[in-house]
Amino acid sequence: MLNALSVDVEDWYMVGAFERSIMRADWPAKEVRVEHNTDAVLALFAEIGVKATFFTLGCVAAAHPALMQRIVGSGHEIASHGWDHIRVFTMTPEAFRADAERAHKTIEDTSGVAVTGYRAPSFSIDMRTPWAHEILAGMGYAYSSSVAPLKHDHYGWPEAPRAAFKPVPGSELIEIPVGVVDLAGKTFGAGGGFFRLFPYLLSRHAVTKVNADRRPATFYFHPWDMDPGQPYVVEASIKSKLRHYTNLSAMEGKLRRLTRDFDWGRYDAVVERVRSDMV
């Protein structure tokens, strides 16, 4: 079973956990680590021999066009993560369309390849945004991975399907939800901070269970997830600091285990297999 591996390309200070501690007006003064950290991910993937999809913020693509070309040149897929990490459910349909179009054009221009995949910042397409998938379909996207079928204090759509589905009648757009696992009456994500915070066996159980149902698992992380040397935000809440900084030094080793235990590839390759199964 080929599972979908992805990287959300954003810098350490752009995350939702710090939105109350670091204002957007302060972003230009922050230490830039995204290029170095993403290059470290590329080096790791080259060493272990896996390909992935890099969901990239438009503002990062604009600032680091050579990085976009290195991602593509290494055989990975590049996709859109919106412009600058604003949650979809905080935007109007018009603002979302403008954000998506700006990111799409910038990522295509800097990478030199067509962009067919989209991931909403913080998986923020949910029951409040029925128009978001329609806009993505109208833009010609082949797939989205923007729904988290769980309850989280920053995002989540617990009632959403866990398997791939077509969210817009009459459209070929496919939504690939983020992977989740049920444990002790609660639902946890299979990537990102969940992967760092919890024992590796939980993620291995999640992927194994999904594959046993003859479905591809999905997994994501960020370049800063592998960066224990990043700046420490003293002003952030205790919860935010625990989520962001715990087990950063263990991330690379856990990723190596994950890629040894299962088969992983680009989202576009997984989507084509899913699409053929839907026919």
Q: Give the percent of the chain with pLDDT over 90.
A: 82
What is the rounded average pLDDT of the residues 223-241?
Answer: 95
- For the chain, the average pLDDT equals 94
User: Per-residue pLDDT for 27 more than 90?
Assistant: yes
Distance CA 270, CA 264 (A): 9
Question: Who wins on pLDDT, 228 or 16?
Answer: 228
**H or E stretch at 220:** strand 218-221
> 43: pLDDT confidence band, cut at 50, 70 and 90?
very high
Distance CA 77, CA 15 (A): 22
Q: Give the percent of the chain with pLDDT over 70.
A: 99
DSSP single-letter state for residue 165 = B
User: Collapsing DSSP states into helix, strand and coil, what is residue 3?
Assistant: strand
Whole-model pTM: value is 0.95
Distance CA 222, CA 220 (A): 7
For residue 75, give the nearest of 46, 41, 116 by alpha carbon: 46
User: Per-residue pLDDT for 219 more than 80?
Assistant: yes
User: Per-residue pLDDT for 17 more than 90?
Assistant: no
Q: What pLDDT is stored for residue 192 in this prediction?
A: 79
User: Per-residue pLDDT for 279 more than 70?
Assistant: no
Q: What is the CA radius of gyration of the chain?
A: 17
Rounded alpha-carbon distances, angstroms, from residue 86 to 12, 58, 102, 121, 123: 15, 12, 13, 6, 11
Distance CA 279, CA 276 (A): 5
Q: What is the largest CA-CA distance in the chain?
A: 52
Q: What pLDDT is stored for residue 157 in this prediction?
A: 81
Question: Who wins on pLDDT, 179 or 8?
Answer: 8
The single residue listed with the structure tokens 């956990």 is 17
User: Per-residue pLDDT for 188 more than 80?
Assistant: no
Q: What pLDDT is stored for residue 68 in this prediction?
A: 98
What is the rounded average pLDDT of the residues 231-254?
Answer: 94
Q: What pLDDT is stored for residue 150 in this prediction?
A: 81
Q: What pLDDT is stored for residue 189 in this prediction?
A: 72
Asked if residues 103 and 138 have their Cβ atoms less than 8 Å apart, the reply is: no
- 129-172 pLDDT tens trace: 999 999 999 999 999 999 998 877 667 788 889 899 999 999 99
Which residue type sits at 52?
Answer: A
Decide the pairing of beta strands 263-265 and 2-9: parallel
- 50-104 pLDDT tens trace: 999 999 999 999 999 999 999 999 999 999 999 999 999 999 999 999 999 999 9
Distance CA 60, CA 171 (A): 30
User: Per-residue pLDDT for 186 more than 80?
Assistant: no
DSSP single-letter state for residue 126 = S
